[in-house]
């Protein structure tokens, strides 16, 4: 089945999704999956789109970029290879949270440590707060930890990395958060 990935970024304002979905509809496309977020003033979204009539991507891309240019947005399209069915990896969901003064290189170091253990970050959020007049950054990583990685080892690696940046770090199974807060 013909699919492509569409990403759109730019200034956030009302009507973006309506415009994108209308253009895709006029090209006979169907949106299968979508995720969007707003960081400060910036809109970012990613779509997986079914293209049953195999309309040329450059034509769809041109239509989108012409329509979105006035809204200070840009679109990027890429064909999507539909993989054969692969078994789900044997992983456990953990949440890594760091807290400390925002310093250059922190995110690179922390994500590097996570990657070194082949853990996949599935959600990442960084929040800047003020703590007694100092900018403090809280980073929340939801990660899939391979079955072969022992959580104590993961914690040790994260603590070693984070201590160099003066960050507090915690590593907890994701279930505890859902258990406490959700009915």
Among 74, 116, 120, 172, binds other proteins (CB under 8 A): 172
Rounded CA gap, 88 and 98, in Å?
28
Closest contact distance (angstroms) between CB of 28 and other proteins is 32
> How many residues in the shown chain lie near other proteins by CB under 8 A?
24
Nearest approach, Cβ of 180 to other proteins (angstroms)? 5
Q: Which of 78, 125, 153, 156 binds other proteins (CB under 8 A)?
A: 125
> To which residue do tokens 């994260």 refer?
158
Q: Is 177 one of the binding residues for other proteins (CB under 8 A)?
A: yes
To other proteins, the closest distance from the beta carbon of 140 in angstroms equals: 5
Q: Does 135 bind other proteins (CB under 8 A)?
A: no
Question: How far apart are the C-alpha atoms of 142 and 11, rounded to whole Å?
Answer: 27
For residues 19 to 38, the per-residue mask of contacts with other proteins, x marking binding by CB under 8 A and - elsewhere, is --------------------
- Looking at residues 95 to 124 of the shown chain, list those that interact with other proteins (rule: CB under 8 A): 95, 97, 123
- Of 160, 105, 111, which is closest to residue 140 (Cα–Cα)? 111
Sheet holding 120-131, edge to edge: 120-131, 134-146, 91-101, 168-173
Which of 66, 175 has the CB closer to other proteins? 175
| Structure token digits, residue 62 | 């041109």
Using CA atoms, how far apart are residues 123 and 170, in angstroms rounded to an integer? 16
| Residues 50-69: x where in contact with other proteins by CB under 8 A, - otherwise, as a string | --------------------
Nearest Cα residue to 98 out of 154, 149, 137 = 137
Under rule CB under 8 A, which residues in 137-166 are in contact with other proteins? 138, 140, 142, 151-152, 155
Give 4 or 141: the residue with its C-beta nearer to other proteins.
141
Residues at the contact surface with other proteins, assessed by CB under 8 A: 95, 97, 123, 125, 127, 138, 140, 142, 151-152, 155, 170-182
């Amino acid at each position: 089945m013909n699919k492509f990935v569409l990403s759109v970024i730019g200034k956030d304002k009302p009507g973006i999704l309506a415009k994108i979905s209308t253009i895709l509809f006029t090209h006979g496309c169907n949106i299968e999956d979508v995720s969007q977020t707003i960081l400060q003033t910036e809109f970012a979204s990613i779509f997986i789109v079914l293209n049953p009539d195999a309309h040329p991507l450059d034509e769809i891309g041109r239509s989108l970029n012409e329509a979105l240019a006035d809204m200070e947005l840009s679109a990027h399209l890429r064909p999507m290879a539909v993989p054969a069915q692969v078994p789900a990896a044997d992983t456990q969901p953990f949440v890594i949270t760091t807290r400390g003064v925002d310093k250059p290189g922190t995110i690179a170091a922390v994500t590097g440590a996570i990657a070194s253990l082949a853990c996949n970050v599935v959600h990442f959020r960084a929040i800047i707060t003020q703590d007694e007049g100092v900018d403090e950054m809280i980073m929340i990583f939801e990660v899939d930890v391979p079955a072969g990685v022992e959580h104590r080892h993961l914690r040790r690696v994260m603590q070693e990395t984070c201590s160099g940046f003066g960050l507090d770090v915690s590593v907890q199974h994701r279930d505890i958060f859902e258990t406490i807060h959700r009915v």
